[in-house]
Amino acid sequence: MKTNNYQGALQKPINSGFNAKSTSADVIKGIDLTGKIAIVTGGHTGIGLETTKTLANAGATVIVAARDITKAQKNLDGIANVELETLDFMNPDSIDSFTAKFLSSGRPLHLLINNAGIMWVPLRRDNRGYESQLVTNYLGQFQLTAKLWPALKQANGARVLNISSYGHQMAPFNFDDPNFLHRDYHTLQGYGQSKTACNLFALELDNRAKVFNVRAYSVHPGSVLGTDLGREEPIELFKQIGTHDENGNLKPEVAALLKTVPQGAATTIWCATSPLLNTIGGVYCEDADIAKLDLGNIEHKFDEPKTIYGVQPYSLDQDNAKRLWDLSERLLGISFDVI
């Protein structure tokens, strides 16, 4: 019996009872999170905000880590059981400050939801010269998780969720030049490799951490209407992929097929709380179930969201996962010893 998801060994649906139309409210029904502590990065907008509301309403204490505190305070106003802290993934010192403050509280961490992310951005670098999508979507979550490891282990039953994307299909991880120092920058390649990294990280973390009763998952929310993830995307790209008309407007027939924000948060909530996953980890999930492995037999059409599913084997490869872990430690100058 397989105990890890290397090469996609566990990557098949388990008939969760939910589907693409299920909402966060559907998935959380009957689940009491009283006494649980959760951290949600970017938990003040879009799918992250819906995740925060759902967990808090179920009784969890939710620490929202946000870069824009003013915006976060406005969006979180009136929600009980929420704490707000500053966190900027483009600044490694900010990550260290955030984690040191949480660890000093002595609290266990039952849920770490690495939700914050960016997409469609022009080439930007942090002060180390690292590309911004790689930093925000992956390296920041690796550093955050590593620093919070003592609290995750203390929980004796924690889960780590990396919010990934179907976008991982756009690019495998480029180990030779992850920061676009010697190749032309293409924003979707940067996004794709950052999400592939999320999958590989969840895969390897789960295999190392399960002995401490910590499980990890990667999550594809689906094609969701009403987030600001594409706020910097050139409208010409939307036209090229067929989702927008010549005037730059979202086609009504496409909008009708997109998920709502509560539907987009459903898989996050399912991975965070479902008892069906108590003995399964390292898997890539979508539509509130474990996703199918994409072996080249799925026809994908960007103007038909229901065809945008499946996970690439290269993002569940054992060698890639271990190699990425070592590279991440070197790039960040830290050791993530799961002991």
Of the candidates 198, 247, 249, the residue with the CA atom closest to the CA atom of residue 221: 198
Give pairs for 12-18: CB < 8 Å, separation 24+: 12/290, 12/292, 12/293, 13/289, 13/290, 13/291, 13/292, 14/276, 14/280, 14/289, 14/290, 15/289, 16/270, 16/274, 16/276, 16/288, 16/289, 16/290, 18/266, 18/270, 18/287, 18/288, 18/289
> Which of 191, 217, 284, 309 is the catalytic position?
191
d(CA 290, CA 218): 10
Of the candidates 47, 56, 210, 33, the residue with the CA atom closest to the CA atom of residue 119: 47
Residues whose CB is less than 8 angstroms from the CB of residue 311 and which lie 6 or more positions away in sequence, other chains included: 8, 11, 168, 199, 220, 284, 291, 292, 293, 294
Residues whose CB is less than 8 angstroms from the CB of residue 59 and which lie 6 or more positions away in sequence, other chains included: 32, 33, 34, 35, 36, 81
> Environment class of residue 112 by beta-carbon count within 10 Å: exposed (0-12), middle (13-18) or buried (19+)?
buried
Catalytic residue check, 185: no
Active centre residues (catalytic): 191
